[in-house]
Amino acid sequence: MSKRTKWDTKGDLDESKNLPIYQHKATLQQAVKDNSFLVVTGETGSGKTTQLPQYLHQAGFWSNGKIGITQPRRVAAITVAQRVSQEMHCSLGREVGYQVRFDDCTTQDTVVKYMTDGCLLREILADPVLSQYSVVILDEAHERIVYQNKWWDKASKGRCVPLKVVVMSATLETDKLSVFLGGCPVFTIPGRTFPVTSKFSCAIGPKDTESSVYVKEVVKVALDVHTSEMAGDILVFLTGQSEIEKACDMLYEKAESIDYRYDVQDHKVEGLLILPLYGSMPTDQQKQIFQPPPPGIRKCVVATNIAATSLTINGIKYIVDSGFVKQLNHNSRVGMDILEVVPISKSEALQRAGRAGRTSAGKCFRIYSPAFWEKCMPEYTVPEIQRTSLTAVILTLKCLGVHDVIRFPYLDRPEERFILEALKQLYQCDAIDRRGKVTRLGELMVEFPLPPGLTRALLQAASLGCEDLLLPVAAMLSVENIFIRPGHPEKQKEADKKHRQLGVQAGSCNDFTMLLSVFEKCKASDAPSAWCKDNYIHWRALKSAFSVETQLREILLRLQKRDFPMEKFDGNKSELFRRCLCTGYFTNVARRSVGKVFCTMDGHGSMVHIHPSSTLFDQEAQLDWVIFHDLLVTSRIYIRTVCPIRYDWVKDLLPKLHEVDVYELSSVAREEVTDEEVAKWVTKEAAKRQTEGSAEDV
């Protein structure tokens, strides 16, 4: 270890003593000893996530079992575990580790374990009393769903030492949490914040929702801050990976040409260090975000909403707020969950601004107008459980033995129609039967961290012995976008050309085979990273896809050892592939109506267009029936990852879209289930699982 690093570490430790939570260390340790349930609240950045687990470790809780901490998003779980392992002077994966979907970084030595909510749920499925844990800390409880099922009621029975449950949240809804936990004590860490002045601008009004418009604007404002404001780092909020990369490119280009001969506001600024931060970023790059910039250099982090609550970056003095966020919403217009860019809520805007006032007074530059604030921004953000499809949650609940998913005591009760919708979808992909009971297929499906339709298609392929076609596709659809589209127009043309060539070479007549072909070609290549660069493909994303494929294959292999349904098929391979897709995607079927317009067949009858990124774009005239992976809603509704099919293949499935009486499903969902049945499920082989829902990558 170099001298400098040693010095840094010491600095870090001192820093943790400066956190507001530090003064309450002994009290908190005692409070957890004295209570089975505890709610802890405090401003974002007060040290809850990084410090409390360490305090409990120091207090000796680990001797009774692991200290588990859940995070709503994978990046948060990973970066925080990294940080805490540093603070505890151990290498990551030893005493301190993390486990997220497709990535388990823990060992037998791990006693402080950060994980995603989904991971914990899987552990509960495998071991309802969580016998390996002494304490479970549910962090950012305001954000998430899984605490709804009160699994701890069951977990506290049948243990020698009772399980401790700590629920942490930055919001003020702690009374609600406390009531939910049977009136447990609430510990508030007094905050220490500095004033932040917020300024609106007229750039973005109620009608300006185009990404290109607000990206340009945040870049402009960030550069203005850089060239005219006092020392201090900048945090820019945008909505997602591609936008962030675009903004970083633009910032980089413009920052290059700044003339630094004159000092900015009497202090020396020589450059701008531009760092992106989004969910699916590689971990080595994430580390950089937290390091202080070199002297004279100003840091500018361009981040998704993850920097609003989950991660705290020190040294931020200026916020540039785009006013938008990418959110998984149930879109009733198209009847599906889609990731949408929407205006943030007012409370979210305040939270974002607050990030500038942690260590001294700060400034927040809102690029939107007061009219935008008034007309477009809701007061509060609606909890995810109330705005998304619940298929994964409902299926997991059912597999956990909770059958009455309607009268279940949710913390934030989802609308009944969403529960019914989820039941319907589960029925459509054969995960539950008409009486609302989990089927054999459903028990297999709950093991996969994929959307139900994709899992259904994958299981169908596996039962026909052609999982090799579907596994790569499922993996490719689970990672960030693999096709690079550079911002520069010339390069963009070249990239498009390369992608088209790849399609032609693949002989691919649809976007799913395109994914398969890219996966296989790259895998077979001697120099895969060079191959990717040459073809404008994200090497990093492909690497993740390789790893995801392996893991999905492992899950499948494990399930195939149970008695796995097998079927026969006579027909050609291309047809087989597409027919497998149909079993899962018949809910996403569309038929061309006129010109380039397609009409969905799910009862919503939405008018949709093929997205320009599709290999089938501009070939609409030759198409009739298609299935698609997802929708993108802008001024138009686009379908993405598209595959032509024959009506014959879905003909027998389509009635399922309409025949089902959701009330029938739900009325049986209310039926009592015997403890034996629950026990039967629970005692079923329950090897280690490491999976969770899908919106966590944002």
Binding site for Mg ion (CB under 5 A): 48-49
- Which entry of Mg ion, ligand ADP, none binds 169, CB below 5 to 8 A by partner kind? none
Cα–Cα nearest to 588, from 508, 514, 515, 512: 512
- Which entry of ligand ADP, Mg ion, none binds 80, CB below 5 to 8 A by partner kind? ligand ADP
Cα–Cα nearest to 236, from 249, 219, 224, 252: 219
- Which entry of ligand ADP, Mg ion, none binds 50, CB below 5 to 8 A by partner kind? ligand ADP
Main-chain dihedrals φ then ψ at residue 15, nearest 5 degrees: -60, -40
Provide the minimum distance between the beta carbon of 79 and ligand ADP in the complex, in angstroms, as a whole number. Answer: 4
Nearest residue (CB) to Mg ion, 602 versus 696: 696
Provide the minimum distance between the beta carbon of 310 and Mg ion in the complex, in angstroms, as a whole number. Answer: 6
Q: Count the helix, strand and coil residues of the chain and give each as a percent rounded to the nearest 5.
A: 45, 20, 35
Nearest residue (CB) to Mg ion, 172 versus 557: 172
Provide the minimum distance between the beta carbon of 419 and ligand ADP in the complex, in angstroms, as a whole number. Answer: 32
- Which entry of ligand ADP, Mg ion, none binds 47, CB below 5 to 8 A by partner kind? ligand ADP
- Which entry of ligand ADP, Mg ion, none binds 45, CB below 5 to 8 A by partner kind? ligand ADP
- Tokens at residue 340, please? 């949408």
- Which entry of ligand ADP, Mg ion, none binds 615, CB below 5 to 8 A by partner kind? none
- Which entry of ligand ADP, Mg ion, none binds 388, CB below 5 to 8 A by partner kind? none
**Burial status of residue 260 (CB atoms within 10 A of its CB: 0-12, 13-18, 19 or more):** middle
Nearest residue (CB) to Mg ion, 45 versus 436: 45
Cα separation, 508 vs 332, in Å, equals: 33
Pairing of strands 362-366, 336-343: unpaired
Helix (H) or strand (E) holding 70: strand 66-71
Provide the minimum distance between the beta carbon of 78 and ligand ADP in the complex, in angstroms, as a whole number. Answer: 9
Provide the minimum distance between the beta carbon of 540 and ligand ADP in the complex, in angstroms, as a whole number. Answer: 20
Nearest residue (CB) to Mg ion, 174 versus 209: 174
Nearest residue (CB) to Mg ion, 48 versus 142: 48
The residue number whose beta carbon is nearest to Mg ion equals 49
CB 41 within 8 Å of CB 187:
yes
Pairing of strands 233-237, 164-169: unpaired
Nearest residue (CB) to ligand ADP, 278 versus 519: 278
Side-chain half-sphere of 302: how many Cα atoms within 13 Å?
A: 27
Residue 142: CB atoms within 10 A of its CB come to: 21
Provide the minimum distance between the beta carbon of 149 and Mg ion in the complex, in angstroms, as a whole number. Answer: 23
Cα separation, 641 vs 474, in Å, equals: 12
Q: Which residues bind ligand ADP (CB under 6 A)?
A: 19, 42, 44-51, 79-80, 82-83, 290, 312-314
Provide the minimum distance between the beta carbon of 77 and ligand ADP in the complex, in angstroms, as a whole number. Answer: 11
CA 238-239-240 angle, 5° bins: 115
Provide the minimum distance between the beta carbon of 19 and ligand ADP in the complex, in angstroms, as a whole number. Answer: 6
- Tokens at residue 648, please? 């014959």
- Which entry of Mg ion, ligand ADP, none binds 82, CB below 5 to 8 A by partner kind? ligand ADP
Nearest residue (CB) to ligand ADP, 21 versus 514: 21
- Which entry of ligand ADP, Mg ion, none binds 71, CB below 5 to 8 A by partner kind? none
Side-chain half-sphere of 479: how many Cα atoms within 13 Å?
A: 27
Provide the minimum distance between the beta carbon of 109 and ligand ADP in the complex, in angstroms, as a whole number. Answer: 21
CB 365 within 8 Å of CB 300:
no
Nearest residue (CB) to ligand ADP, 16 versus 560: 16
Nearest residue (CB) to ligand ADP, 99 versus 312: 312
Cα–Cα nearest to 279, from 116, 461, 63: 116
